[in-house]
Amino acid sequence: MALTAVDSSIQALLNQLGIEEMNHGASTGSKWMATNGTKFESYSPSNGALIASVNGATESDYEAVIGQAQEAYKSWRTVPAPKRGEVVRQLGVKLREYKEPLGKLVSYEMGKSYQEGLGEVQEMIDICDFAVGLSRQLNGSTLHSERPAHRMYDQYHPLGVVGIISAFNFPVAVWCWNTALAWICGDVCVWKPSEKTPLTAIACQKIAAEVFAENNVPEGVSNLIISGADLGIAMSNDTRFPLVSATGSTRMGKAVSEAVGRRLGKSLLELGGNNAVIITPTADLKLVIPGVVFGAVGTAGQRCTSTRRLIIHESIYNQVKDSIAKAYEQIKIGDPLDESFHMGPLIDEDAVNTYLSAIEKVKAEGGKMVVEGGKLEGEAYASGCYVSPSIAEVENGYEIVQHETFAPLLYLIKYSGDVHDAIEIQNNVKQGLSSAIFTNNVRESELFLSAAGSDCGIANVNIGTSGAEIGGAFGGEKETGGGRESGSDAWKIYMRRQTNTINYSTELPLAQGIKFDF
């Protein structure tokens, strides 16, 4: 990686994270390969500055990384799970030390606000803490055999080499959601981050390598390859990856799922969301407004859990519309490292063009703009990546509404009748990640959470769609992919189940009473 002339504070930040002058795009831990593949340039969407350029990994680099990972797995899988957990605990400690600089780098390279950057690193710390406790609780079950003097039980073993393909919008947290659990389960990991955010990935790899070296963890347990889609496709088709975890668009996820499925591998998919909030007549608007506004404009609408649709009962529709529009007038947009701003830029100019195109499609289909955002001009927005957010009155059946626009575009949809009508509108999209209802009616809230309610993987009452706690399993249904990461029993995807039967008698009774006379 060749660093360019950047702001002195950012240069100091990169130095603090151990990112010095180099030209590396692949690593098996503390060992970095001098790669000469496609050059990826990392620009900050906050000011348009070229932060650095990184030479990507080639196919031969990929083969070298996989070979080292396979070798490392042979020894890592034999380390007791609590010992593996101790290494992850130390990673959490190290992340606490690096929280400020890493959070700032996330903000500078990706464009989310500094507070959100810090929050992302905190998610990494939290999942490390969760994984440490989990390392002593990878429980199976003891089962009763139908044969006398027999014992049955099931247990879990590591899978092997886990592939992780992550997106730009959460450039470090999603990696840690996967690795912290996979490592305590005894797997080794190969990470292909988004080519739009290579520096945060390099920083994480260096931090992990520092901890692993201190604990004599073999090279190849934590691996990094920076590349375009080519090596992501290779990972999906590679039988040496029993599991590929992929975060990104539905289009990308379908390609990964098809490739992995053809070889009967396992995939963990976290894909697009078209998340809705239902607002019923009894809703407390003091809760609604901040929840909706943050959900819609946080990370400039570039969260898979961002609020896209607001389904409002007709009796309070105008009141809610006016309140949301007024709140949008107070949103401050600017440098994400300046904590006085609420919203930073989109990731790049392509994202800006996609956003502007979506607004035009809304109007072409008959939508009415309540707040029409657009590209921001001026010296403070010279990167060309800043936009102001939009609100539009639409029908749920509009073609553009049926698709996820990864930008701060909020749709207002009116419903009449009871909450069943609102739930039907909410569920009538192809995606199924996050959902929420604001109500003070216990029957409405319980219905929303029932089998006849929200069809999403996440369903909230009186909080928004955006954000999730580490302790719960994160993921969605339908075209969101059906995967689960982070808390609860999400660890099981990283392991294989084995059923064992032990005969401690002097005879060999067969199951179902079958007898052979010899």
Average pLDDT of span 159-186: 98
d(CA 260, CA 180): 23
Element containing residue 213 per DSSP (H, E): helix 198-214
pLDDT > 70 fraction of the chain, expressed in percent and rounded: 97
Tell me the pLDDT band of 23, cut-offs 50, 70 and 90: low
Strand 24-27 relative to strand 32-34, pairing: antiparallel
Structure tokens at 76: 């890592």
In this predicted structure, what is the pLDDT of residue 18?
A: 77
Edge-to-edge strand list for the sheet holding 24-27? 32-34, 24-27, 222-225, 188-192, 161-165, 243-247, 266-270
pTM to 2 decimals? 0.96
DSSP category for residue 509: P
| Catalytic choice (116, 120, 219, 270) | 270
Statement: residue 2 has pLDDT above 60 = no
The C-alpha angle with vertex 240 and arms to 238 and 242, in degrees rounded to 5, equals 95
Which stretches within 98-168 are classed as H helix?
A: 99-110, 114-134
pLDDT tens track for 381-397: 999 999 999 999 999 99
**Nearest alpha carbon to residue 236 among 163, 160, 176, 159:** 163
**Residue 116 annotated in active site:** no
**Nearest alpha carbon to residue 189 among 173, 200, 205, 211:** 205
**Residue 210 annotated in active site:** no
pLDDT tens track for 444-499: 999 999 999 999 999 999 999 997 899 999 999 999 999 999 999 999 999 999 99
Strand 24-27 relative to strand 222-225, pairing: antiparallel
A 10 A CB-CB count for 438 gives 25
Lowest-confidence segment of 14-23, 28-37, 50-59, 350-359 by average pLDDT? 14-23
- Region label for 264, one of left (φ > 0), alpha (ψ between -120 and 50) or beta (otherwise): left
- What is the Cα gyration radius of the chain? 25
pLDDT tens track for 326-356: 999 999 999 999 999 999 999 999 999 999 9
d(CA 158, CA 495): 5
| Catalytic choice (128, 176, 185, 304) | 304
